Amino acid sequence: MSMHDDIKNVLVTEEELKAKVADLGAQISRDYAGKNLLLVSILKGAVVFMADLMRAVTIPCSIDFMVVSSYGGTNTQTTGLVKIVKDLDADLTGKDVLIVEDILDTGVTLSNLVPMLKMRNPSSVKICAILDKPTRRKADIQPDYEGFQVPDEFVVGYGLDYNEKYRNLPYVGVLKPHVYERA
């Protein structure tokens, strides 16, 4: 029994992800040359993208991680406010913070988080999201660096989970309906 059998269709292939991450890494390396780049990843969804992107960045940089959770919500939806469950270790003073995210969906998470980080005196705060679902946006926020736009469907793989599974799929896809029914 392979997890690949649970996938209805692939939206972004492993090859497409690889090429895009290389592009983003090159672009970020140019834009942040001579700056104090700190890549900040939100666990757990962005961990796969972070691991790939940091190796595509060719300038010196640091990395850090945080855990946030939304109040309420279900397996496939988030609601309202976010709280910091595990904060950054790094002092943001003078840093050029680039938030490395799995997907910008409603934008509620990052529209809450960005102002919190900006209060810590960084030089800049920008967003790099490998996936973007622009049709679902509720908050006025856009990625500064973006990988792929995806339609309004619940996606898994490349770090993104359903019930903590499928994060290890090397591509981004949509689950077959029976997977939700058996949960």
Tell me the DSSP string of 3-66: GGGGEEEEEE-HHHHHHHHHHHHHHHHHHTTTS-EEEEEEETTTHHHHHHHHHH--S--EEEEE
State the sign of the Cα–Cα–Cα–Cα dihedral 158, 132, 16, 126: negative
Stretch that binds ligand 5GP, among 3-11, 28-36, 53-61, 99-107 (CB under 6 A): 99-107
Q: Does 45 bind ligand 5GP (CB under 6 A)?
A: yes
Contact 172, 156 (CB under 8 A): yes
Closer by beta carbon to Mg ion, 52 or else 102: 102
Instruction: Indicate which single residue of 45, 143, 159, 173 sits in contact with Mg ion (rule: CB under 5 A).
Output: 45
Instruction: Indicate which single residue of 51, 70, 161, 167 sits in contact with Mg ion (rule: CB under 5 A).
Output: 161
Q: Are strands 96-104 and 124-132 parallel, antiparallel or unpaired?
A: parallel
- Considering the candidates 96, 105, 132, 161, report the single residue annotated as catalytic: 105
Q: Does 105 bind Mg ion (CB under 5 A)?
A: no
Residues near ligand 5GP, by CB under 6 A:
45, 78, 101-109, 154-156, 160-162
Interface contacts to Mg ion, rule CB under 5 A = 42, 45, 102, 161
